[in-house]
Amino acid sequence: MPSVRLMRFWTPLAFAAVITLPGALALALPAQAAEKPLTRDALLTVLKADQVWCSGWRAQDQSCEDVAFVDVLPGNKVRQVSRYRMSSDPDLQMVVRETVDVEGGALCSTFRFTDLDIVVLMDNEPAPQEQAAGILAVLAQSMANLEGKKTCEAYVRDEATGELKSTVTLDGEAAPEFDSIYRLIAPDTRILLRPMFEGEEQSTAV
């Protein structure tokens, strides 16, 4: 999800932005098999299920590139909380909260960095204010070209695996670099969160 988390479509956006830390991002590849897009009703059913949205599922160690938790709110709104692990040494993570809109079978939002509630964690505790401010400043600068753009994330389901493939648009134009694949996981499942950057091999439980 945005994506819908759909979550969450801000997950791929945040990943693409934090490029000033060492290493490169490992983006999920889009699914090859075309499936029927989720309708509004089908999307709402998925969103209301008590499941964690895992992007970039890796079976060998049951790990994700990021995870998202969602709540459906009144007025066609969805609150999503996404968690990313940027590095393992130091153990640097980011929690991003945002409210997006359900539009048809997609999750949409007009991107404004100030609308994001972002917490930087170091060793599972809030990072020192000076360090967190520096990271957020770099993130805001790297995402400046997205400011004011309308982002939508629509989904199709792989009936064989149950996974959701997302298709992202920016101001109505396809943005395949932000597409992702989500596996929906029971909340009591032990999930490992992989670092976002190459060269990081350790994972941490969520």
Is the pLDDT at 76 greater than 70? The verdict is yes
The pairing of strands 66-73 and 63-64 is unpaired
Where is pLDDT greater, at 34 or 26?
34
Distances (CA, A) of 88 to 24, 84, 121, 136, 184: 14, 11, 12, 18, 25
Among candidate residues 93, 111, 85, the one with its CA nearest the CA of residue 175: 111
Average confidence (pLDDT) over 170-199? 88
Reading the block at residue 107, the tokens are 């999750």
3 confidence band (pLDDT: 50, 70, 90):
very low
Reading the block at residue 154, the tokens are 């629509």
* pLDDT computed for residue 168 by the predictor: 95
Helix 10-17 and helix 129-142: axis angle, to 10°?
100
Mean pLDDT, the chain, integer:
82
25 confidence band (pLDDT: 50, 70, 90):
very low
Average confidence (pLDDT) over 45-64? 93
* pLDDT computed for residue 206 by the predictor: 61
Cα 20 to Cα 102: distance, rounded to the nearest angstrom: 32
Cα 102 to Cα 120: distance, rounded to the nearest angstrom: 27
Contact 56, 65 (CB under 8 A): yes
24 confidence band (pLDDT: 50, 70, 90):
very low
Where is pLDDT greater, at 197 or 105?
105
DSSP string computed for 156-181:
EE-TTT--EEEEEEETTEE-GGG--E
* pLDDT computed for residue 17 by the predictor: 41
The percent of residues in the chain predicted with pLDDT above 90, rounded, is 61
Is the pLDDT at 16 greater than 60? The verdict is no
Average confidence (pLDDT) over 129-134? 92
Contact 4, 69 (CB under 8 A): no
